[in-house]
Structure 1
Amino acid sequence: MRHFVRYFIILVLFIPVITACTQDENQAIKKHTDKISIYTTLYPIEDFTRKIGGEYVEVTNLLSDGMDPHTYEPTSKTIVDIAESDLFMYSGAGLEAYAEKISKAVESEEVLIVEAAKGVDTVHHGHGKEVTVSKPVHENEEEDSHHNHQHGDKDPHVWLDPLRSIDIAETIKESLISLKPEHKKFFQQNFQELKANLEALDSKFHDVIHHADRKQFVVSHAAYGYWEEAYGIKQIGISGMNQNSELSQKELTNIINEVKEKQIDYLLFENTSVSNIAQLIKDEVGATVLPIHNLSVRTREEIQNQDDYFSLMRKNLESLSTALND
């Protein structure tokens, strides 16, 4: 009996110590993970958030490894995880149909929902076959409408314009400041560095395109309308802004004829594009295929290589420079 009493007293004496240690450990863990928990959709949003937030953010991007932003659907677990985070940030302009579903599901929770490209001027005229391919607009109007219905008359790829990306980055910066105002100076300094780099990238695009021999290029996915507006070049899109759309035989023939007529020697194709279409046009016109990237999602190889927004855009500029010069 005395042994039992002794053990009971020891246990009672140690309970406060154990509890205090546990509380200290929990506080230490919380302090260690005291970051803004953020979920993003498209890669440029993720990259800009990491560059501005630095050590004070923990960013999870929903799409990776070449996933298709047009067809992505979040799981129930993903939605629960986002509801427990501090910030859900998407681009907007109609590309992420799933973002609205997520926003409605978590709007009653304590999570800040931000449309990063809200207020950014968008290209509202259609890009792709109905604009860049020489063909009459009559019997194919309904078909073209189907090809571009997903984005309406907006081109959602706003981040491909470095100057518009500055506006996106500023929205990200302000969102982070609202959640962690004590780190305002840190976020502002990182934003200014990012802004300077985006301005320098814009200057490089202007310089390369200004000195180019031609001002037209053929691209698999008509996602580059912002380059048309910003730099005065013209894309000939093999598919519309929705890269999953299928071409009719007549549309394909029109594109091949236009490429031959303009003596275009290069085709710019995205990694996610349907390769048999590229091969068909390549064989028909004898053109060389070059890589191009709309940056919405990185591939596994790009993640392993630690490619970021700027390295991918520089690669785009290299391909564009080759395609625009004889």
Structure 2
Amino acid sequence: MTNRTRSETSPSLSRRDVLLAGSGAVATGLAGCLGGATNRADPGGSGDGPVVVASFFSFFDFARKIADGTPVEVRNLIPTGLHGHGWEPNASITRDIIEADAFVHVGPDFQPWADRAIQTLKDDNVDTQLVNVREGVELVDLAASLDPEEEGVGDGRGKDPHFWLDPDRAKQSVDNITEGLVELAPEHESTFRENASTYKSEVLEQIDRDYQSIFDAADRDVVQLAAHNAFQYVGARYGVQMRPLVVNLAASGDVKPSDITEAKRVIDENDIEYIGAGVFETRKPAEQLVAETAVEGYYPVTPYAGVREDWVENNWGYEEIAYQINMPTFEVVLGNRPPEEAGYDGWNEEWRNFQ
């Protein structure tokens, strides 16, 4: 494992330096409280406690951190290997929600299947508690680069839903989940609130600082992504232009010739050598840009919307994915570090032009 630190910009080891020291043993050790490798939280009790199901990986991960040390069991409804936005499940998922004690969701207009399930709960007077993680979050307007037919979410459906990519905004969703768990299991209120406070201060705020350091150190303020339009909140938070190739809000949709042409222009004008590509999206657009432009390779980015099997095995959550996947890629695509010096030992070999 590499022991490289960011000593040139910081005199002490940050949380990012520690996590980037290794992808396996370190991630597993730090994530020991995250539960088993089946995307379920360790209930910490007899297994007879309340069951909470979540419609999206990021908020499943937040909920299991908040519930750690209580009998509350948290389950992720999104199957391993799938992207949580654009997936359409079968009817068994609605049954899982009906049978659960609480349903953590991302608010209306984001996941149509979740909206339908919520309507079923209301129509049938099912008492599954609903926890809207988006409640009270200030959303930004849809990016100008989006497909004009996209409707977004929020009042007038003109807002970008991907707020959790901003660690500061993500703290509000942690608060919303906490209040939901307190309502569900008030006898464990002190544990929920302590866990939430620790997660916000020791994880989300540190991620925010480390992201800021990456973007502050960059000479370029443009990132080209062969991925869907999910990263506007990163740009808004840290003052960088995120240029997605796929202009849909969900990880779907065709790439038009005009999108490729625009990406080529951005790459040429900004002397871009490396681009980011969505982990759970087709790699064909990235491969095309490598073949047809000066781009030398692509590396992974993800909006924390799904997990791979090896991530589950290593108990990776929002925190580990930030440090092991997104941050090394941003450093490479911004030119802060050569690929050989980014991430954990072997990161470049594992992720360069990944399939």
Give me the TM-score of the superposition, normalised by structure 2. 0.75
Q: How does 1:97-246 map to 2 (within 5 A)?
A: 97-107=112-122, 108-126=125-143, 129=145, 144-146=147-149, 148-149=150-151, 152-196=157-201, 197-219=203-225, 220-240=227-247, 241-246=249-254
Q: Distance in 2 between matches of 1:69 and 1:43?
A: 7
Q: Of the two, which has the highest radius of gyration?
A: 1
* Per-residue deviation, residues 161-188 of structure 1 (Å, max 9, x unmatched): 1111110000111111111111111111
- In structure 1, the partner of 2:292 is 284
**Counterpart contact for 2:85–2:305, Cα < 8 Å:** no
Tell me whether 1:250 sits opposite 2:264 in the alignment: no
- 3-state DSSP class of the match of 1:56? coil
- In structure 1, the partner of 2:37 is none
The change in CA–CA distance for 1:249 and 1:76 in structure 2 (over 3 A counts) is closer
- 3-state DSSP class of the match of 1:60? strand
**Counterpart contact for 2:152–2:158, Cα < 8 Å:** no
5+ residue gaps, structure 2, are: 1-44, 337-355
- 3-state DSSP class of the match of 2:223? strand
5+ residue gaps, structure 1, are: 1-30, 131-143
- RMSD across aligned C-alpha pairs, in angstroms? 1.8
Tell me whether 1:311 sits opposite 2:320 in the alignment: yes
* Per-residue deviation, residues 82-127 of structure 1 (Å, max 9, x unmatched): 2121101111263212111010111211110121112201111325
Cα deviation for residue 286 of structure 1 reads 2.8
Cα deviation for residue 71 of structure 1 reads 3.5
Tell me whether 1:58 sits opposite 2:73 in the alignment: yes
Q: Distance in 1 between matches of 2:177 and 2:288?
A: 42
Q: Distance in 2 between matches of 1:188 and 1:70?
A: 29
Cα deviation for residue 312 of structure 1 reads 0.5
- In structure 2, the partner of 1:21 is none
Q: Distance in 2 between matches of 1:289 and 1:71?
A: 23
Cα deviation for residue 250 of structure 1 reads 2.3
- 3-state DSSP class of the match of 1:311? helix
- In structure 1, the partner of 2:46 is 32
How many residue pairs get matched? 281
The change in CA–CA distance for 1:186 and 1:79 in structure 2 (over 3 A counts) is same
Q: Return 274-283 or 59-68, whichever deviates more.
A: 59-68
* Per-residue deviation, residues 52-85 of structure 1 (Å, max 9, x unmatched): 0113221121112222334323333322232121
Q: Distance in 1 between matches of 2:109 and 2:308?
A: 22
Cα deviation for residue 43 of structure 1 reads 0.7
Q: Distance in 2 between matches of 1:78 and 1:245?
A: 25
Higher helix share: 1
Cα deviation for residue 279 of structure 1 reads 0.7
- In structure 2, the partner of 1:49 is 63
- In structure 2, the partner of 1:263 is 271
Cα deviation for residue 216 of structure 1 reads 0.7
**Structure 2 counterpart of 1:85, one-letter code:** A
**Counterpart contact for 2:101–2:129, Cα < 8 Å:** yes
- 3-state DSSP class of the match of 1:247? coil
What percent of counterpart residues are identical? 24
Q: Distance in 2 between matches of 1:65 and 1:231?
A: 30
**Counterpart contact for 1:93–1:154, Cα < 8 Å:** no
Cα deviation for residue 316 of structure 1 reads 0.7
Give me the TM-score of the superposition, normalised by structure 1. 0.81
- In structure 1, the partner of 2:30 is none
